[in-house]
Amino acid sequence: MIILGATPIGNLGDASGRLREALATAPVIAAEDTRTTRQLIRALGIDAQPQLVALHEHNEEAAAPALVERARDEDVLVLTDAGMPTVSDPGFRLVQAAVAAGVAVTCLPGPSAVLTALALSGLPTDRFAFDGFLPRKGGERDRMLAALAREERTVVLFEAPHRLTDALEAIDRAMPGRRVAVCRELTKRYEEVRRGTAAELLPWAREGVKGEIVLVLEGATPVLADLDAAVQQVLGLKAAGMRLKEAAAEVAEATGHPRNALYRAALEHPAS
């Protein structure tokens, strides 16, 4: 069986009883970093000598078949350095391979930076999206945030501390006035959550921030117009002399509907 184990994200006290038992009994542990896993076993006072196998983003695809075969006969515990495997961490390809091979997979729930930040953010939690790390390159980051500006769900992102200022500046450009929570060093001694707009948080960020960062962004206010109404806007602009493609692009920008969808719908409309 494949066992996904959630490890502490900063506080050893968050290691569950089930995780401790699995660490003590699993014959094989597939670890993102075997050194980190050895340190965890020692820190928890567990007397065990499992076989440790590296499983990280660079070797997961190649290592998965052999681990799946081992999991047919014995438990293979899968751990990342912190948090839940597969969530912006290695493990997805292994689970996918196990499912395809008919090998059982189970999970030991536990610490999650995503859910911890979401709960602390003060933003709506009934619907949310997790989009991993913001791109490092400015252009890619700006394009991603421009797309997220129309996302109505609360959005959770990871970011490196040395890029926090750039990230907040980009967020302020893409969604000015939107509420943001910057969660730092979650579950650790210097845990901190700063809340406000990106513009309000920038002076603090520019002073220099250390530690692991989770960003939580307020979702967009529902503004997407009904498609039929949007198509009528396109047709109205066309009737006023604008080319259909230009009209579709303008209404798409205003409503959030895909430009191609508006163009096709307007083209097929009886009044076109």
Task: Please name each of the domains of the chain with its CATH number.
Answer: 2-111 (3.40.1010.10), 114-217 (3.30.950.10), 227-268 (no CATH)
CB 96 within 8 A of CB 67: no
What integer best gives the mean pLDDT of the chain? 94
Q: How far is CA 166 from the centre of its chain?
A: 19
pLDDT tens-place string over residues 111-129? 999 999 999 999 999 999 9
Query: Whats the size of the chain, residue-wise?
Result: 272
Q: 80-111: per-residue pLDDT in tens?
A: 999 999 999 999 999 999 999 999 999 999 99
| Tokens linked to 43 | 């820190």
Return the closest-CA partner of residue 158 out of 107, 205, 112, 95. Answer: 112
Reported as a single tens digit per residue, the pLDDT across 30-66 is 999 999 999 999 999 999 999 999 999 999 999 999 9
Determine the average pLDDT of the residues in 154-172: 97
pTM for this model (two decimals): 0.81
Place 257 in a pLDDT band, splitting at 50, 70 and 90: confident
Q: Which two tokens stand for residue 38?
A: 């050895």
Sign of CA dihedral 124, 216, 91, 24: negative
